[in-house]
Every structure is written in C-alpha cells, then in structure tokens.
Amino acid sequence: MTTRDSLRINPPSNRLRGSMPKVGIRPAIDGRFGGVRESLEGFTMEMARATAELISANLRHSCGLPVECVIADTCIGGFAEAADCAEKFQREGVGVSLTVTPCWCYGSETMDMDPLLPKAIWGFNGTDRPGAVYLAATLAGHNQKGLPCFGIYGRDVQDLGDTNIPEDVKEKILRFVRGGLAVATMRGKAYLAMGGVSMGIAGSIVDHELFERYFGMRVESVDMTEFVGRIAKEMFDKEEYQRALAWVRENCKEGHDWNAPEKQRTRDQKDEDWETCVKMALVARDLMVGNPRLKEMGFAEQAQGHNAIAGGFQGQRQWSDHFPNGDFLEAILCSSFDWNGIRQPYIVATENDALNGASMLLGHLLTGTAQMFSDVRTFWSPDAVKRVTGHTLDGAAAGGFLHLINSGPTALDWTGHALKPWWDVTSDDAGRALDDTLWCTSDLGYFPAGGWSTDFTTLGGIPCTMFRINLVRDLGPVLQIAEGQTISLPDEVHRTLDERTSPSWPTTWFVPRTGGDGAFRDVYSVMEHWGANHGAISVGHIGADLISLAAMLRIPVDLHNVPSDNLYRPTAWHRFGGGLDPVGADYRACATYGPLYG
C-alpha cells in the first residue's frame, strides 16, 4: 500500500524560462464620435470584461497557473488605438488575440495584423448595431491579407446590452483560446533529443525544420554519454537521490520476472539497476529544465538545463545494450507524481520518437493531463479472439479492438486512477495508481543490461483520443486523430492475449469510434490507416481541440472521426472549398499559408 503522506500536492509553477503567455482582449468600436461611439463604449468594454472573466474562470495553463487576460486600455475605433493596443500587448506578453465587438467598426483600421498571434473575432449577434457585419467584413479583410482568423458568431439574436455569453459562443471562445495558448506556450522552448536515432525508427530522426517552422521551437541535442558522465561524477542532487531511492523502494512494487531462470539478474544486480534508473530520471529531468541545486554543487553550466518543454530518450540499443533501460525515467517523468509529490507531468518520448513526443506535447498543453506513449501493436478481430481464447466479444468490443502497449512512457496515471488535469490529482488518486502498478525486470532479450518496466492494465470505459503527427516528404507534417474508449476484458481473456506479447509492459485495450466509410469503417481500417508504429493518447475526446490547434499551426488533418459540426477552423478554410470538401480545403489552406513561423 502506497504511503499517501509522501504524495503532497505541489502548487503550480512555471519551470521553464520565459513568462506564461497572456490572452489579449481587443474591444473594437464604431469610431464616430458625436453620439455613436459614446453610446457603445460601456457595453463594448463590458463584452471585453465578460470575455476575460469567462477565460480566466475556465482555463489554466498546462503548468496549472491561471490564465491572465489583458484588455486594451480603450476601445479601438481606428488604427491609432489599434497601435496603442498592440504596444500594450507586446509589453504585457500577450500570445493570443481575441477581438470582441457589438457593432460596426472600421475593419482594416482596427484589425490585429500581427502574423504570429493566433486571432479570433467575436461579433455580437444583435440587431441594433450588428457586430456580425463587422465580423464578416473584417474576416474578409483577414483572408484578403493572408492573416487567418477564427470567427465567433452566436446562433441566437441577443439584445444590445445583454452581457450573458451564449453557450455556443463560450465553446468557441474557449476552444480558440486553448489552442492559441498551446501555440504561444511552445514558442521559444526546446525539444531535447537525449541520444539519436533508435533502431532505425523514422520518428527519431529529429527534424529541426518541423520544430522551428511549425512550433517556433528549437531542437537541443545531447549524447547519451552525458548520462554516463553525470552519474559517474555524481552530478545530481545527492540528497534528492537518497530520498527518491527510498520512495521507490517503498512505493514501486516489483512484479514477476518473465526471463528464463538461468538468465535472470541477481538480487544485487536488480538493486543496482534501481539505483541507476533513479539517477537516470534525475539526470534527464535536470537536462530538460535545469536544477539550481547543481549550481550550489559547483556545476553552474549544467544547472541551467535546456529549457525543454518536451524531450526524448533514445535508449535502444546503444544505451540499453550496456546500461539499464530508460523505462523508469520515461514512465515516472511522464506521470503526474513522483517522490516530490504531485506535479506537472513531463513529456518524454521513448526511443526519442520526436514526432510522437510533439504529439504528446500538444495533448498535454490542451488538457494539463499526463499523456500515454504507446505502440499501436495489434488489431484483435472477434474471430481471432474467439479462436485464441474461446471468448465471444460483445458490447463496445464487439467489432474488435487495438492493443496499445509499450515498455516506455505510459504514465502511471494511465492505470486509470489519475486521468485528470494534474492540479486536480489527489494523493489518493496517485496512491491507487502506484498500488495498481508492478515494476517488472526488463525483458533481457530487448534490454540485456537490465532495468525495470511498468506492468498494469488501464481500466475500461475511459473516453480517450489517440493521435499522431506524421512527416511526409514534399508534404510536411500531417495529423491523424482517432477518438474512442478503453475497454476491459475478462481476466482470463486478458491474460491469454497479454502473455502472447510482452506481459511485463503496460496494456491498454482501445476501441476507436467507428461508422460510415473510409478509415473509420471498422477497427481494422483504423489500424490499417494509422501512419506509424506509435501513437500518443490523451484522456477525453479532444479531437475538435486538436483540429483547431492544427489549423493554427498549418498542419492538415488526414484522418479523424470528429463530428463535422464540431470542426472549427479559421474562416479562410471555407474559401478553399471547406463547404464542399473539408479535408481537401484543409490541405490547400495549410499549403497556401505555409508553416506559422515561415
């Protein structure tokens, strides 16, 4: 039984360099003084304040800090006030721009023309001085000038002066801001490649242009010998190491050793593996975000870290043939808790698959939850399950399911007990996740130098989304999305299927939502259309948020099962044929506008 007292809740903090991006609210107004502007000043500014309150009350940054909104000092009736607003936004660190108005305004004179800020306009649906007219005119201006902008227009007419924000407007505002903050948060950060290409996996051929041009990030690289050197020189917080090792011994239960008896490592070797694995986790974290304790120890350069919002560890084979594998460091860092208590998960991709790491990053920025990295290993058809186990599938699993499994960073949250924004995770949630996790000695066929891998089975009935960015030559990045749910199998059926593959690794049985034609005709078709061996999985159905975010980054979506009425992209996408061919329009728009950062 895990000691809950060790799982204190850490307050939210920003562990990276740079301030958190803010949301800028631009109240636009008819600039004609002499009665028109004066009659609208109060309500226009009230719209801005109500919008700011909505955002701050409902959203947090992925690090848990509250989202701050900045409102222009005055309503914006022309370019002079637009310039004042732009200067304030730059000074305040605004990363997302949202214009609100109840009335006609002068479109090209008041619009936000910063090409790097995700932008939207809410035009109030009223009849007195309809903001919808400004909305339509200014969106047309954005499209003409090549500055994609999201439009927000309520379905029902409201009375001028009604400060209530309709539910459909709220949904679009919050979806836009979630995506915009993700864009702004990534900018200026790094992906840290710890090692190089793992076993020829293309996703670990880290593409610098992808991160620089689409995410506004840089790629930092360190050789895995950095781990050898830091461990040998004890270049880590030794007090924390002793505390972490004691916590691991108390809370990380060992499971079955599946290796042949004559090949199993001795007790002394296993204990030494634990010590090395804990040190590896400390080193990886310090490499990503730095550690001021190292400066106190005389390692000022190493104390700085690489300002990495995400990273990946190569592991196989140049590391794991000679040293304990990276499964512990990946799993514990990706979880929302460790020996320091409950804290923001890290994003660490196994095998340094940077494309899956980037995907995990998007999911975490949108939700604040721990992400799963997994092999999309096997499609189990009803006939195959019947043949192997004698069991007839029914319910959600009636059409078959996918086996998601990987030795690496399936966060412990994915036992099913802590799948919520990390700041809502309780010590009891984390304790149950630890209680349901066994740590098995590494499969020595894969990892001949030892190590530890997690073994658990995700609870069934959890809504989740599997997604991945793939990189295609002469096309660029494309995103695929499959919403669905986890399922549970009868114990004997689970055991039979699980033991046919790697029983010392964590298993998630996943059923994507299917129906219609094409890639989502059935579960097999989803497997057949999946673009790589790996997938990122996030709790909840976040496909609509991912699609909006992808449009901001100019990444087309080639595969998804999100209902069409939930698709929300900049209105320019309609001009590319979105009303007739939404997939083709997405590709054409992304190709025309190109990567967000050039």
Write down the domain spans for the chain. Answer: 22-186, 190-567
What pLDDT is attached to residue 505?
94
Q: pLDDT band at residue 389, thresholds of 50, 70 and 90?
A: very high
What pLDDT is attached to residue 512?
98
Answer yes or no: is pLDDT of 53 > 90: yes
Q: pLDDT band at residue 92, thresholds of 50, 70 and 90?
A: very high
Please name every residue paired with 471 in a beta bridge, in sequence order, or none if there are none. Answer: 477
Single-letter amino acid code for the residue at 301: E
Q: What angle do CA 87, 92, 97 make, to 5 degrees?
A: 75
The pLDDT tens digits for 551-593 are 999 999 999 999 999 999 999 999 999 999 999 999 999 999 9
Mean pLDDT of 32-39: 94
Q: pLDDT band at residue 529, thresholds of 50, 70 and 90?
A: very high
Answer yes or no: is pLDDT of 5 > 80: no
Mean pLDDT of 167-175: 98
Answer yes or no: is pLDDT of 457 > 80: yes
Mean pLDDT of 400-424: 93
What pLDDT is attached to residue 230?
98
Mean pLDDT of 172-187: 98
**β 438-441/452-455 pair status:** antiparallel
Mean pLDDT of 232-255: 97
Answer yes or no: is pLDDT of 275 > 80: yes
Q: pLDDT band at residue 3, thresholds of 50, 70 and 90?
A: low
Could you tell me how many helices (H) and strands (E) the chain has, helices first? 20, 21
Burial class (CB in 10 A: 0-12, 13-18, 19+), 260: exposed
Answer yes or no: is pLDDT of 130 > 80: no
Mean pLDDT of 181-202: 97
Answer yes or no: is pLDDT of 4 > 90: no
Answer yes or no: is pLDDT of 407 > 80: no
What pLDDT is attached to residue 2?
62
H helix or E strand, kind and range, residue 186: helix 167-186
Q: pLDDT band at residue 129, thresholds of 50, 70 and 90?
A: confident
DSSP 75: -
- Other residues' Cβ atoms within 10 Å of the Cβ of residue 222: 16
CB contact at 8 A, 168 and 154: yes
Mean pLDDT of 144-158: 96
Residue 226 CA to residue 191 CA, distance in Å, equals 17
Domain 22-186 has CATH 3.40.50.1070: yes
Mean pLDDT of 211-235: 98
Mean pLDDT of 116-138: 91
Average pLDDT, the chain: 96
Q: Which single residue is written with the structure tokens 């083709």?
A: 584
Mean pLDDT of 296-308: 97
Backbone angles phi, psi at 405, to 5 degrees: -155, 140
What pLDDT is attached to residue 409?
66
- Other residues' Cβ atoms within 10 Å of the Cβ of residue 274: 20
Mean pLDDT of 148-165: 94
What is the end-to-end Cα distance of the chain in Å, rounded? 53
Identical fold for domains 22-186 and 190-567, yes or no, is: no
pTM for the model stands at: 0.97
Fold (topology level) of 190-567: L-fucose Isomerase; Chain A, domain 3 (3.20.14)
What are the binding residues for Mn(2+)? 351, 375, 534
Active site residues: 351, 375
